[in-house]
Amino acid sequence: MNEAKVREAICEIGASIFERGLTAGSSGNISVRVADGWLMTPTNASLGRLDPARLSKLDDSGRPIGGDAPTKESFLHRVMYEERGDTGAVVHLHSTHSVAVSCLSDVDPHDVLPPITAYYVMRVGRLPLVPYFRPGDLALAEAVRDFAGKHHAVLLANHGPVVAGSSLDAAVNAVEELEETAKLYLLLRGAKTRFLTPQQVKELQ
């Protein structure tokens, strides 16, 4: 895909995410690896109203070289690219059900959501909870780095998911699967539930 097409794809997917209520206001950000750096959604920009020409462009060393200033959460994206060589895109949302789960005090921080469906196991897998840091605290980048080598999806406590994928579609599909699974988990809390067995999970991995 050439850069013009990638710019259009980011804006199209951003609008779709926003219209479906998967992130609100100016929250959430998207980045995609291109031939000579990265494209990233700008700071204070709503995913619902992105302009292809104003997306931030960063060079290979992460220096802004075009468009509006990048999201203040760009360090979350950088860490994923640095620790996962096969990453083509990163999506971070403040999606309601995932954020709700990230605030629960009784989840397993090593694997927040149980294996409810096969698709969740295949697209997300084990989901660690990254401890809470205040917005803008760069210590959050280092905390994410600790998990990024082993996990393409992490959940930031009291904040939201960060998901890397080989392509923009792969990253978006995985973060949507995560959000739907968080919703199912909340619907099922308190109900007697049959999760996938360890053997069934093993077959999918």
For residues 179 and 117, what is the distance between their CA atoms, to the nearest angstrom? 13
Query: Which tokens belong to 122?
Result: 């295949």
For residues 174 and 16, what is the distance between their CA atoms, to the nearest angstrom? 15
Query: Which tokens belong to 28?
Result: 């959430």
For residues 33 and 37, what is the distance between their CA atoms, to the nearest angstrom? 6
Q: What are phi and psi of 190, to 5 degrees?
A: 95, -15
* Catalytic (active site) residue 185: no
For the sheet with 29-34, list strands across it.
Answer: 64-66, 56-58, 37-40, 29-34, 89-92, 160-165, 153-156, 129-130
Residues 6+ apart with CB under 8 A from 104: none
Tell me the CA distances in angstroms from 126 to 19, 72, 122, 167, one per residue in order.
28, 27, 10, 20
**Sign of the alpha-carbon dihedral angle for 75, 63, 13, 117:** negative
Question: Which one from 81, 119, 132, 185 is the annotated catalytic residue?
Answer: 119
Q: Which residues are catalytic?
A: 119
